[in-house]
């Protein structure tokens, strides 16, 4: 049997097929997805769960003229395969290849970039209003799922959409049975019936009849309709938000999906519609179906056995070290609480939860709530550790400022994925946390240069009682140093000299320290002896040490895995206020460049960012060379 998928390069090709061929297309698409991700790694389970949905939506709607937004973006791999990117799909998440998320610059079939969740309804509502203002009748479809409905932003958007009565179709991909019970034949029948023209027309007719009678009669009739609808569909919540609710339906029944989508597309209903589909994460691949996280994110794997490629490193990951160190403290201190936002395995909080199931809280994709929830715990004397990726903590910045910092509450932020993160690309890079936290009064901001320093920073965070703190650490494995005891804490605001030199000094904040050491060895061979300081703290700064370094070296360079405005900016402010620059000190700050760096290996990304050892060597040589030129010019002028 010839593969139908070979004939499909764009959705227009898909729409040439007969409906009875769509199941074969779906089976082939699922097979191709498994093959691709086994080679590239990435998000597998979510994509497996939306194969039929992807085929059905592109079959029924005239994409890209009709807009389709995926939320969260890692559901989009099947979508990419049938929207002109099949031939390049094996470059997924690689340098110069396809993004692992939807990306506007990549394809006209990606009208909105989505890598952080719960943005689809807001963005498609904007598109729907734009259509209305432009007298455009194109359809706008949002597919939201994989936990994204746990975020408040989705409900804010739904509330607004319901009030505006905008023409908008939202498909809820419910892949964890968190909202409705499994569907059966009756639910399937009702979904088809409720989406049909006849029922749409009947519902509007009933409204007209009701409006002609007294208010009291109308209220009773409306309540009866709501009760009946709630009993048969479970959609009362969505209806109250102003959505016409359809479902739940089987998201893997391609024939029924197409029928329901066609009914909705062709209806005269003018307001927003929500189609509730039940799908199985990891559908069609036994190893994913049987996995606890349904193969949410995987490395390269063997398709037959499901065995994933293991890290070649013999050292534990920073994430695991964080979790195991926190457990040791929690065994001695019952006030320690773990919090995360839908990322228990990614942050190591699943390990903490196994040991202390009553003291770990996964609040869902709700970072704003997570932070204020932690603040509430802190008011009662508890010691909350909010483990949140740097890129996701951005979503709760107002809560960090207003609910934590202003009240000086001792919430401890464990910031995972600090710095550049490789294949996930710019949407998941921890680029800005140093800057956005170091500007806040009452904050202690730390960055670990290795796994031993991370342990010390966790120990320090446990002891802080009167203000919030944050410690950041990178994705990946440690450098292979011995770990200290949990009693070994740091003095707040104190750095340490790692290597003593003469001409130039580097103040390193974070995990670039190893690259600084490599650069120092290279420079030493050129008779340039470099002083290296592990700054440890961006706030408060070790002012005494920094001033000592600045007054005993020709040049000072700061380096950090963050944007401008962070550690280097605070050091520059200190030196400027103390008048050190007036005395001839040369100063440079090495930060992430003012661009978003696309996915690649971490090593390649840091090289592109100019934060590798060679870039450090070049920076030191350039700054010392400028000093030599300046001295020569002064000599000429004096003569």
| Model confidence pLDDT, tens digit, residues 3-26 | 999 999 999 999 999 999 999 999
Pair (404, 514) in one structural domain: no
Q: Note down the domain range covering 630.
A: 496-637
User: What does the alpha-carbon distance between residue 319 and residue 316 come to, in Å, rounded to a whole number?
Assistant: 8
Please indicate, yes or no, if residue 300 is contained in any of the structural domains: no
281 has catalytic annotation = yes
588 has catalytic annotation = no
177-183 mean pLDDT: 41
Please indicate, yes or no, if residue 552 is contained in any of the structural domains: yes
Counting every residue written for the chain, the total comes to: 639
Higher pLDDT, 241 or 361: 361
- Which range (96-100, 173-177, 308-312, 563-567) has the least confidence? 173-177
pLDDT at 183: 46
280-295 mean pLDDT: 84
Please indicate, yes or no, if residue 214 is contained in any of the structural domains: no
Domain count, the chain: 3
pLDDT at 186: 46
pLDDT at 147: 76
Pair (44, 179) in one structural domain: yes
pLDDT at 175: 82
Please indicate, yes or no, if residue 477 is contained in any of the structural domains: no
pLDDT confidence band for 208 (50 / 70 / 90): low
Please indicate, yes or no, if residue 255 is contained in any of the structural domains: yes
Out of 28, 32, 52, 367, pick the active-site residue. Answer: 367
Residue found under tokens 């939306």:
50
Pair (534, 626) in one structural domain: yes
pLDDT at 235: 65
551-566 mean pLDDT: 97
Asked if pLDDT for residue 200 goes beyond 70, the answer is no
Out of 30, 395, 412, 456, pick the active-site residue. Answer: 395
How much is the pTM? 0.87
pLDDT confidence band for 197 (50 / 70 / 90): low
Tokens of 291: 């996995």
Pair (552, 459) in one structural domain: no
Pair (457, 379) in one structural domain: yes
Pair (256, 391) in one structural domain: no
Pair (513, 442) in one structural domain: no
533-559 mean pLDDT: 98
**Among candidate residues 405, 437, 472, the one where a domain is terminated:** 472
- Which range (117-121, 139-143, 191-195) has the least confidence? 191-195
Mean pLDDT over each residue of the chain, to the nearest integer: 90
pLDDT at 198: 55
Pair (407, 533) in one structural domain: no
User: What does the alpha-carbon distance between residue 549 and residue 291 come to, in Å, rounded to a whole number?
Assistant: 53
Asked if pLDDT for residue 372 goes beyond 80, the answer is yes
pLDDT at 180: 41
Tokens of 130: 């734009």
Asked if pLDDT for residue 629 goes beyond 70, the answer is no
pLDDT at 176: 67
Contact 362, 386 (CB under 8 A): no
Pair (461, 543) in one structural domain: no
427-449, pLDDT tens digit by residue?
A: 999 999 999 999 999 999 999 99
**Among candidate residues 269, 287, 305, the one where a domain is terminated:** 287
- Strands 469-472, 586-590: pairing kind: unpaired
Q: What angle do the packed helices 215-233 and 185-195 form, to 10 degrees?
A: 140
Q: Give Cα separations from 481 to 316, 348, 417 (angstroms).
A: 10, 20, 20
Pair (143, 188) in one structural domain: yes
User: What does the alpha-carbon distance between residue 13 and residue 9 come to, in Å, rounded to a whole number?
Assistant: 7
465-520, pLDDT tens digit by residue?
A: 999 999 999 999 999 999 999 999 999 999 999 999 999 999 999 999 999 999 99
Asked if pLDDT for residue 178 goes beyond 50, the answer is no
Pair (114, 243) in one structural domain: yes
pLDDT at 276: 92
pLDDT at 297: 80
User: What does the alpha-carbon distance between residue 33 and residue 54 come to, in Å, rounded to a whole number?
Assistant: 12
CATH number at residue 259: 3.40.50.970
Burial (Cβ within 10 Å: 0-12, 13-18, ≥19) of residue 24: middle
Count of beta carbons in the 10 Å neighbourhood of residue 15: 14
Asked if pLDDT for residue 215 goes beyond 60, the answer is no
Q: Give Cα separations from 121 to 37, 171, 249, 295, 392 (angstroms).
A: 28, 10, 20, 26, 19
Tokens of 56: 């059905």
Asked if pLDDT for residue 189 goes beyond 60, the answer is no
Asked if pLDDT for residue 229 goes beyond 70, the answer is no
Pair (389, 537) in one structural domain: no
378-395 mean pLDDT: 98
Contact 360, 373 (CB under 8 A): no
Please indicate, yes or no, if residue 464 is contained in any of the structural domains: yes
Please indicate, yes or no, if residue 221 is contained in any of the structural domains: no
Asked if pLDDT for residue 352 goes beyond 70, the answer is yes
Out of 93, 94, 188, 281, pick the active-site residue. Answer: 281
Contact 343, 351 (CB under 8 A): no
pLDDT at 179: 40
Asked if pLDDT for residue 231 goes beyond 50, the answer is no
Please indicate, yes or no, if residue 122 is contained in any of the structural domains: yes
């Amino acid at each position: 049997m010839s593969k139908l998928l070979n004939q499909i390069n764009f959705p227009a090709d898909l729409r040439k097929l007969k409906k009875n061929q769509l199941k074969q297309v779906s089976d082939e698409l699922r097979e191709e997805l498994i093959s691709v991700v086994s080679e590239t790694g990435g998000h597998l389970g979510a994509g497996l769960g939306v194969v039929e949905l992807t085929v059905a939506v592109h079959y029924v709607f005239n994409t890209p003229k009709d807009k389709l937004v995926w939320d969260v973006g890692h559901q989009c791999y099947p979508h990419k395969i049938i929207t002109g990117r099949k031939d390049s799909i094996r470059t997924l998440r690689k340098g110069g290849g396809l993004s692992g998320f939807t990306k506007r610059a990549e394809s006209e079939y990606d009208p909105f970039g989505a890598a952080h969740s719960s943005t689809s309804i807001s963005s498609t509502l904007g598109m729907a209003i734009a259509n209305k203002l432009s007298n455009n009748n194109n359809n706008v479809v949002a597919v939201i799922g994989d936990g994204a409905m746990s975020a408040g932003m989705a409900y804010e958007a739904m509330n607004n959409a319901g009030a505006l009565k905008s023409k908008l179709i939202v498909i809820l991909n419910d892949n964890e049975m968190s909202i409705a019970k499994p569907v059966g034949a009756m639910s399937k029948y009702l979904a088809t019936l409720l989406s049909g023209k006849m029922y749409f027309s009947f519902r509007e007719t009933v409204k007209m009849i009701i409006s002609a009678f007294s208010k009291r009669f109308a209220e009773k009739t409306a309540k009866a309709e709501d009760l009946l609808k709630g009993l048969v569909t479970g959609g009362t919540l969505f209806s109250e938000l102003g959505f016409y609710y359809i479902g739940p339906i089987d998201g893997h029944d391609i024939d029924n999906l197409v029928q329901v989508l066609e009914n909705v597309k062709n209806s005269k209903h003018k307001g927003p519609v929500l189609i509730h589909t039940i799908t199985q994460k990891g559908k069609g691949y036994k190893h994913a179906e049987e996995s606890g996280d349904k193969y949410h994110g995987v490395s390269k794997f063997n398709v037959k056995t499901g065995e994933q490629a293991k890290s070649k490193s013999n050292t534990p990951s920073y994430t695991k070290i964080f979790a195991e160190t926190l457990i040791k403290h929690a065994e001695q201190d019952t006030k320690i609480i773990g919090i995360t936002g839908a990322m228990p395995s990614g942050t190591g909080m699943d390990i903490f939860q196994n040991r202390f199931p009553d003291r770990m809280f996964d609040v869902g994709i709700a970072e704003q709530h997570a932070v204020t929830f932690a603040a509430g715990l802190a008011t009662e004397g508890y010691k909350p550790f909010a483990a949140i990726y740097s890129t996701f903590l951005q979503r709760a910045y107002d809560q960090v400022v207003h609910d934590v910092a202003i009240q000086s509450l001792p919430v401890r932020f464990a910031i995972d994925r600090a710095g550049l993160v490789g294949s996930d690309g710019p949407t998941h890079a921890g680029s800005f946390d140093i800057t956005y936290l170091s500007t806040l009064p009452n904050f202690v901001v730390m960055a670990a240069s290795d796994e031993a320093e991370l342990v010390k920073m966790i120990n320090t965070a446990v002891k802080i009682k009167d203000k919030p703190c944050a410690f950041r650490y990178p994705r990946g494995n440690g450098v292979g140093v011995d770990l200290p005891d949990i009693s070994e804490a740091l003095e707040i605001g104190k750095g340490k000299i790692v290597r003593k030199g003469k001409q130039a000094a580097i103040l390193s904040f974070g995990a670039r320290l190893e690259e600084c050491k490599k650069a120092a060895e290279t420079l030493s061979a050129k008779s340039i002896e470099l002083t290296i300081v592990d700054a440890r703290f961006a706030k408060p700064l070790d002012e005494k040490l920094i001033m000592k370094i600045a007054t005993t070296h020709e040049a000072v360079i700061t380096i950090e895995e963050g944007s401008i405005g962070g550690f280097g900016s605070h050091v520059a402010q200190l030196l400027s206020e103390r008048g050190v620059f007036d005395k001839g000190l040369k100063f440079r700050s090495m930060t992430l460049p003012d661009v978003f760096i696309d996915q690649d290996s971490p090593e390649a990304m840091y090289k592109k960012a100019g934060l590798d050892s060679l870039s450090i060597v070049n920076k030191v040589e350039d700054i010392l060379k400028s000093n030599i030129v300046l001295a020569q010019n002064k000599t000429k002028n004096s003569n």
